[in-house]
Structure formats: structure tokens, C-alpha cells
């Protein structure tokens, strides 16, 4: 997979030359769905205001579709919750990412926007945020740099399922998806 193409990019938030924001058409549906990524400012490296960027992107995308999906890649739960309220009634789904730990706050906001602070990760549940735990522990305990490698332990699958009304773009359902390798093995 080309990392440059899959990195979280939004045209106005990043310096010129970076890949721009994308509007993904979902061909299996008659209705288009606009898919945007925004990045937060708290803890993460400084970047342009995601709230202002969201306003510009939403105005553009909503001319083409009522179903707008927003991935907000940010560290602070407060910033992600604030973005949910900021986009309530204008986005169909706002999903926070980056912290790897699935939150228990999925909801449909009053304006019809389905929201969760963090969808969680797909990766090993035996490491630390998907990384092999020995190196992470060493770094915490010694404050010395350590080379992180992806952990190969038992996996966990986290995500979100949402239903949208394509006539008005409002969400009608949101559910967390949470599956461990052991649960999957029992089911299969
Ligand atoms: Fe991240």
C-alpha cells in the first residue's frame, strides 16, 4: 500500500505538495459519499485549524452529496468531541482515530450526526498500541530511544458500523465493532 496515498491528508491543513483531500465515490451505491480526513492540533505536530478546514471542506462536499464521512485523526478526546458538535447536522458520521483504544461513547447527536471519539485499532492486542511491548517498555523505563516493531501477537479488530439515510444524510444507527482473535476462532 502506498503510504503517501493513504496518509491522513486534507488540502488546506497541510503544506503545499502534500496529497490533497479526496472525495471518494462509492460506486455500489447510487448516492455518493464524501470522505474527508482532518487532523487535530493538540499534542500532534502544529497544523492549520481543523475546524476551519472542516467548514471549507463540508461546504464543498455537500454540494455533491448529503452523506459525508469524516475521519478526525487527533489525540485529545476534547478536540474530537468538540469536532463532533462542530459538524453535527452537517456530517453524517464523524469517527475519531489515532489513539488506538476504542471509546464507549458512540451516539447520534441531535442534528443527526453519528459520532464516536475513537474507533479503535486493528492489530495485536498483546503489545502496546500494536507495537511489540518489550521495546515500548524499555523506552518508558529508560527514556532511551528504542526501535518499535509491529507486534505479531493475537489480533483484535475494532471499527464502527453506521447506517445513513441517503435522502437527507442523517445517521439512523451507529454500533461499535469489537472482535478478538479468540472470539473469531470460536465463531469460525
Ligand atoms: Fe495517528
Domain extent listing, the chain: 3-118
Q: How remote is the CA of residue 28 from the centroid of ligand 1, in Å?
A: 29
Contact (Cβ atoms closer than 8 angstroms) between residue 22 and residue 35? yes
Q: How remote is the CA of residue 43 from the centroid of ligand 1, in Å?
A: 11
Burial of 87 (0-12, 13-18, 19+ CB in 10 A): buried
Q: How remote is the CA of residue 173 from the centroid of ligand 1, in Å?
A: 26
Q: How remote is the CA of residue 130 from the centroid of ligand 1, in Å?
A: 12
Kindly give the parts of the chain with pLDDT less than 70: 1-31
The confidence score (pLDDT) of residue 22 equals 46
The confidence score (pLDDT) of residue 165 equals 97
The confidence score (pLDDT) of residue 81 equals 98
Q: How remote is the CA of residue 168 from the centroid of ligand 1, in Å?
A: 31
Q: How remote is the CA of residue 9 from the centroid of ligand 1, in Å?
A: 12
| Distance of alpha carbon 28 from alpha carbon 111, whole angstroms | 27
Q: Which CATH architecture has domain 3-118?
A: 4-Layer Sandwich (3.60)
Contact (Cβ atoms closer than 8 angstroms) between residue 29 and residue 166? yes
Alpha-helical segments (H) within 75-147: 77-87, 133-142
**Near ion ligand 1, which residues have CB within 5 Å?**
98
Cell of 70: 469524516
The confidence score (pLDDT) of residue 34 equals 82
Q: How remote is the CA of residue 89 from the centroid of ligand 1, in Å?
A: 26
Q: How remote is the CA of residue 62 from the centroid of ligand 1, in Å?
A: 27
Q: How remote is the CA of residue 39 from the centroid of ligand 1, in Å?
A: 9
Q: How remote is the CA of residue 98 from the centroid of ligand 1, in Å?
A: 4
The confidence score (pLDDT) of residue 149 equals 96
The confidence score (pLDDT) of residue 140 equals 93
The confidence score (pLDDT) of residue 48 equals 87
Amino acid at each position: 500500500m502506498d503510504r503517501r496515498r493513504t496518509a491522513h491528508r486534507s488540502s488546506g491543513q497541510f503544506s503545499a505538495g502534500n496529497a490533497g483531500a479526496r472525495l471518494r465515490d462509492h460506486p455500489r451505491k447510487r448516492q455518493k459519499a464524501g470522505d474527508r480526513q482532518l487532523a487535530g492540533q493538540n499534542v500532534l505536530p502544529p497544523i492549520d485549524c481543523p475546524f476551519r478546514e472542516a467548514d471549507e471542506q463540508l461546504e464543498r462536499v455537500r454540494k455533491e452529496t448529503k452523506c459525508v464521512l469524516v475521519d478526525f485523526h487527533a489525540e485529545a478526546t476534547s478536540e474530537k468531541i468538540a469536532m463532533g458538535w462542530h459538524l453535527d447536522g452537517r456530517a453524517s458520521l464523524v469517527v475519531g482515530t489515532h489513539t488506538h483504544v476504542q471509546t464507549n461513547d458512540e451516539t447520534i447527536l441531535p442534528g443527526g450526526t453519528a459520532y464516536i471519539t475513537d474507533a479503535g485499532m486493528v492489530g495485536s492486542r498483546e503489545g502496546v498500541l500494536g507495537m511489540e511491548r518489550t521495546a515500548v517498555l524499555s523506552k518508558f523505563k529508560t527514556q532511551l530511544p528504542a526501535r518499535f516493531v509491529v507486534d505479531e501477537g493475537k489480533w483484535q479488530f475494532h471499527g464502527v458500523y453506521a447506517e445513513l439515510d441517503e435522502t437527507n444524510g442523517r445517521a439512523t444507527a451507529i454500533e461499535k465493532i469489537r472482535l478478538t482473535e479468540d472470539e473469531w476462532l470460536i465463531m469460525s
